[in-house]
Amino acid sequence: MELKNYMETIVLNYLDVVLEKYPNCCKCEQCRQDIVMLALNHLPPKYVSSDKGNVFTKLSLTELEKEVQVIEEIAKAIEVVSRSPRH
């Protein structure tokens, strides 16, 4: 059994969608990683065992409210990284 932070999956799913709204933000590997890290630091982790595929589907349906929060945190992280990129 492998534990996985489902929140990471959600953040990665939304990263590109949110990045599209920030054409000036650098999209190199370092900056993308920093954005994901910053956003995850502000979001509650959701651990699931990855061998139960159906858990993912259930969570994504019941966590819709949190997804709004995820998008907000990604947007904030993009602004922070844009101000002082580490690359």
Whole-number Å distance between alpha carbons of 67 and 60: 9
In whole angstroms, the minimum distance from the beta carbon of 38 to Zn ion comes to 13
Q: Could you say which of 13, 16, 20, 28 contacts Zn ion (CB under 5 A)? A: 28
Q: Could you say which of 7, 11, 31, 70 contacts Zn ion (CB under 5 A)? A: 31
In whole angstroms, the minimum distance from the beta carbon of 73 to Zn ion comes to 19
- Residue 26 lies near Zn ion (rule: CB under 5 A): yes
Q: What is the DSSP string of 17-59?
A: HHHTT-TTS--SHHHHHHHHHHHHHTS---EEETT-HHHHHHH
